Amino acid sequence: MSHTETEILTPSTTLAPEKHVLEPERSQLGFMRPDHSRSVIMDWLTTVDHKKIGIMYGAIALFFLLVGGVEALIIRTQLAIPENDLISAQRYNQLFTMHGTTMIFLAIMPLNAAFFNFLVPLQIGARDVAFPRINSFSLWAFVAGAIVINFGWVLQALQVMGLFEASGPTAGMTDLAPAMGWFGYAPLTGTNFTGAGTDFWIMGLQILGIASLSAAMNFVVTIVNMRAPGMKMMRMPVFTWMTLVVSLLIVFAFPAITIALGQLMFDRCFGTNFFVVAGGGQPILWQHLFWIFGHPEVYILVLPAMGIISEILPVFSKKPLFGYSIVVFSGAVIGFLGFAVWSHHMFTTGLGKVATAAFSLLTMAIAVPTGVKIFNWVGTLWGGRVRFSAPMIFSLGFVWMFMMGGFSGIMHSSAPADAQQQDSYFVIAHFHYVAIGGIFLAVVAGIYFWLPKMIGKMWKGNLSTWVAIFSTVGLNVTFFPMHFLGLLGMPRRTHTYLEGFGWETYNLVCTIGAYILAFGIFLLVVDIIRCFRKGEPAGNDPWDARTLEWATSSPPKVYNFAKTPIIPARDALWEDKYGPENRKVTYMDDHGHGIHMPSQSWMPFIAALGFIPVGLGMSLMQAGIPYMGYVAIFGLLVIGFGIALWAIEGPGGYHMHPEADAA
Amino acid sequence: MSATENEEDSHGSLVINNKKLLMWLFLGSDCMFFGTLISTHLIYRKLYPESYDPLLVFDLELTSFSTFILLMSSFLMALAVSAMHKGELKSFRRNTIGVIFFGLIFLACQVYEFAHFTNEGLTLSTNTFGSTFYMMTGTHGVHVAIGVFWLLCLYFYSYSGKMDAHESAVDVEVAGLYWHFVDIVWIIIFTAVYLIEYIPGLH
């Protein structure tokens, strides 16, 4: 910040141009605002900068990706040979439950959130998101939820060491980490079947839901309201479009799971009868409520991946995206149809012929917009000058692997076929092709594409090729045989299996594949660390890219754009570099007002931390630990206190006057 | 394309205030919350028509009264928003305290209702009717309580001297949106949960 000057903006007046102070300002509470802190930790904990928040989302998500990966490796090792006894059946249940929960809610969703945070304001030419402090709150609430949901492992470890025994409502239950599957079907979640692990899962997911909802609302407002002049909706990069669609999906899909989890919590803690069969509750209700959320969730996971691919393919083909508007429209249609297909997860529950046929048809209909996207990506490549740089390799891998997952998906959409495949390894094969072959490869492509922008350093060497080879080979060796395993009748979620069903070879191959895939991910981590340590300066635009984020410096300055850009066309940077004169990006004159920056704040962090005592208190109360109800109430008070001070302290803010360099 | 045309575009993207748009999104989300709760109630009601007769405990006069009170509070809320737009602090305070008072009356009616129902033997765990009824109306009650607390905060803040039509009208309007929504949800609950039981021969 050596070349910038910072001025204090007092809350009541507009600007005091004679002041050139770098001292923190007092908030309306009389506290010092944590701006310009010299302590690095304090700076990151209180930051409201969407770029720092994005990087933290990414780092935490990569950590949980590795945690979930280790859980998967233990599962695969257990299944390598018949009648293996590496882990107990109960531990196996806990591992597959937490593997699914971790990968979906703690790895992929926050990885997507990392890209949303870092990229969306840059891509639309904004200074930050619409509500920077809510953004900080979303991040820390996500961290609180992650801690709560994983705390069961700590309790489980204590129990194994003999230091803890559950009493109270779940006395005698030995599963203290979640063990009922990532979609928590009733009645298995009842107090007479599962222990405190289920409570950690309920409270953790509830907190993660609050984090997702607040982030999603923030992003809708940002994309609708914070666009730079000229950035019309149909000029926005496809990734930003997909962020908008996904955020709307979160806004309308998460309430269903929030209420379902609330009902389940009431069942377990306060004796209601929502899913308790003895009291007249219907377990099928849980399935409906869960999948009304759960199927949009699938698109919440995959649409950002499609957005990433739609950004990368044009850059490395030196062509605009083929059929931009139809790609955007298809994404929106996928999101919309995503609300109308939840029952295809429940074909075998006996919905009746009409409902089954309707959901079957709607599910098949989703193949149309998805196919449109695939053909548009192929159309983008067609006749382009294709460069096989790292992001491109992973993107091409995505198109192929995602399509394979899509094919088996179409097979499930036919209800009679699905009746055969339900709960078999065929389903596992399907959604891992979509999740790893689709989302994971796209996220890795995104990391290779945007990390130079995020940290300002360029990749060194071509380890990426080996990452691509090992992860793609690994995922195919792991999951392709699972199609056959499923058709041979191996049910999912089996702790072990007997010899003689013809499953032995396939399982061994799957396990070997899992280790190949794990090695590929290990290489990815090595490559990221190398990039951090030894990367050369990246420059603003290392890939000769098309969208606005590459117009900023690498890494972007805290204020993003020194002057607000005026966007004349789609692919703004490309037109600026190579387009006709009337399509160059121009910049608004700020008339010496400078850039208004929001103040940093402790309050979102404090409010979000309150979720930890709430979640742990409610769950540990169920495990029979005394006084935990009071801990939960204390947590609620912390949340209320944090939000109240947050409101009273006011947004604050100061002005910066950068030289017009970054533009 | 000239720069002036582009500047017009930027005005086009700011048609609705950030805070108001955020509240509208929250209300959209909240629709789904209450939609889930109300449909759970109606599904179980249809599934087990004989399990419980709510007319044993329902008191239509009391609930109609509290519904009327809540409706009137919405009217006062609209007056408070309009007063803030004109910068009339006194009128804002008068109307806001009215909304708070009416909200508290509604909550008191609900507390009385819950206590009365519990005495009559309907609890959370009696049957599915108890579970869905208390959770749904309870969630609504929590919404009202949060609204009352929010308006109290605005009321006391109005004495700080920092509130004026320019800065605070949108804050009050957002609180108003929330309050009207909570009111509308109650109208739906009143119809779908209370009134519907009085249709002869429904079950």
Tell which phi-psi region holds residue B87, choosing left (phi > 0), alpha (psi between -120 and 50) or beta: left
* Within-domain flag for A568: no
Which residue has 């609204």 as its token pair?
B147
Chain A residues whose beta carbon lies within 8 Å of the beta carbon of residue B13: 224-227, 231
pLDDT of residue B14: 56
Chain B residue nearest residue A230, CA to CA: B6
A213 and B CB contact within 8 Å: yes
Instruction: Give residue A383's Cα distance to chain centre.
Output: 34
* Within-domain flag for A375: yes
**Domain covering B18-198 assigned CATH 1.10.10.10 in the classification:** no
Strands A595-597 and A654-656: antiparallel
Chain B residues whose beta carbon lies within 8 Å of the beta carbon of residue A258: 33
Identify whether residues A466 and A400 lie together within a single domain: yes
Contacts 24+ apart (CB under 8 A), B187-192: B187/B67, B187/B71, B188/B34, B188/B38, B189/B34, B189/B38, B189/B136, B189/B137, B189/B140, B190/B63, B190/B67, B192/B38, B192/B41, B192/B42
Residues of chain A with pLDDT under 50: 1-22, 661-663
Identify whether residues A374 and A421 lie together within a single domain: no
- The percent helix, strand, coil of chain A (3-state, each to 5) is 65, 5, 30
B7 and A CB contact within 8 Å: yes
Q: Is A231 exposed, middle or buried (0-12, 13-18, 19+ CB in 10 A)?
A: buried
Q: Read off the pLDDT band of B9 (50, 70, 90).
A: very low
Chain B residues whose beta carbon lies within 8 Å of the beta carbon of residue A282: 43-44, 47
Identify whether residues A405 and A510 lie together within a single domain: yes
Which residue type is seen at A152?
G
8-state DSSP, A491: B
Spell out the residues 6+ positions from residue A652 whose beta carbon is closer than 8 angstroms to its own: A9, A11, A25, A27, A33, A35, A598, A599, A601
Q: A149 and A208 in contact (C-beta within 8 Å)?
A: yes
Chain A residues whose beta carbon lies within 8 Å of the beta carbon of residue B22: 130-131, 217-218, 221
Chain B residues whose beta carbon lies within 8 Å of the beta carbon of residue A257: none
The verdict on a CB contact (< 8 Å) between A582 and B1 is yes
Q: A288 and A375 in contact (C-beta within 8 Å)?
A: no
The verdict on a CB contact (< 8 Å) between A262 and B13 is no
Chain B residues whose beta carbon lies within 8 Å of the beta carbon of residue A169: none
- For A:104-133, CB contacts with B below 8 A are 130-131
pLDDT of residue A14: 38
Domain endpoint, select from A359, A386, A413: A386
Q: Read off the pLDDT band of B203 (50, 70, 90).
A: low
Identify whether residues A392 and A534 lie together within a single domain: yes
Chain A residues whose beta carbon lies within 8 Å of the beta carbon of residue B124: 266, 270-272
Dig out the tokens for A44 from the structure.
Answer: 């990151």
Spell out the residues 6+ positions from residue B66 whose beta carbon is closer than 8 angstroms to its own: B105, B106, B109, B110
3-state SS of chain B is: CCHHHHHHHHHHHCCCCHHHHHHHHHHHHHHHHHHHHHHHHHHHHHHCCCCCCHHHCCCHHHHHHHHHHHHHHHHHHHHHHHHHHHCCHHHHHHHHHHHHHHHHHHHHHHHHHHHHHHHCCCCCCCCHHHHHHHHHHHHHHHHHHHHHHHHHHHHHHHHHCCCCHHHHHHHHHHHHHHHHHHHHHHHHHHHHHHHHHHCCCCC
pLDDT of residue A25: 66
Identify whether residues A412 and A488 lie together within a single domain: yes
Identify whether residues A461 and A510 lie together within a single domain: yes
A26: helix, strand or coil: strand
Q: Is the link from the previous residue into A17 a cis peptide, with omega within 30 of 0?
A: no
DSSP track, A210-227: HHHHHHHHHHHHHHHH-P
- For B:145-164, CB contacts with A below 8 A are 153, 162
Task: State the angle between helix axes of A390-413 and A283-317 in degrees (0 to 180), rounded to the nearest 10.
Answer: 150
The verdict on a CB contact (< 8 Å) between A227 and B10 is yes
The verdict on a CB contact (< 8 Å) between A566 and B35 is no
d(CA A199, CA A268): 8
Which residue has 């919309």 as its token pair?
A336
Identify whether residues A375 and A244 lie together within a single domain: yes
Domain endpoint, select from A364, A386, A408: A386
d(CA A23, CA A29): 17
8-state DSSP, A12: S
Tally of domains within chain A: 2
The verdict on a CB contact (< 8 Å) between A272 and B51 is no
Domain endpoint, select from A510, A538, A566: A538
Dig out the tokens for B64 from the structure.
Answer: 């109609």
A570: helix, strand or coil: coil
The verdict on a CB contact (< 8 Å) between A582 and B131 is no
Identify whether residues A348 and A372 lie together within a single domain: yes
Strand partners, A566: A586
Q: A238 and A322 in contact (C-beta within 8 Å)?
A: no
pLDDT of residue A192: 86
Q: B104 and B148 in contact (C-beta within 8 Å)?
A: yes
Rounded to a whole number of angstroms, the distance from the CA of B89 to the nearest CA of chain A is 19
Q: How far is CA A27 from CA A19, A147, B168, in A?
A: 17, 31, 18
Q: Does the CA dihedral A209-B15-A127-B164 come out positive or negative?
A: negative
pLDDT of residue B7: 34
Of A213, A281, A566, the CB nearest to B6: A566
Identify whether residues A360 and A411 lie together within a single domain: no
Tell which phi-psi region holds residue B194, choosing left (phi > 0), alpha (psi between -120 and 50) or beta: alpha
Q: Where are the domains of chain B?
A: 18-198
State the ipTM, two decimals.
Answer: 0.91
d(CA B28, CA A164): 44
The pLDDT tens digits for B145-157 are 999 999 999 999 8
Identify whether residues A242 and A381 lie together within a single domain: yes
Q: A215 and A246 in contact (C-beta within 8 Å)?
A: no
Spell out the residues 6+ positions from residue A474 whose beta carbon is closer than 8 angstroms to its own: A513, A514, A515, A516, A517, A518, A519, A520
* Within-domain flag for A502: yes
What range does the domain containing A450 cover?
A: 388-538
A586 and B CB contact within 8 Å: yes
A269 and B CB contact within 8 Å: no
Chain B residue nearest residue A247, CA to CA: B25
B29 and A CB contact within 8 Å: yes
Chain B residue nearest residue A567, CA to CA: B6
Identify whether residues A364 and A241 lie together within a single domain: yes
Q: How far is CA B7 from CA A228, A230, B12, in A?
A: 9, 7, 9
CB pairs < 8 Å spanning A and B: 120
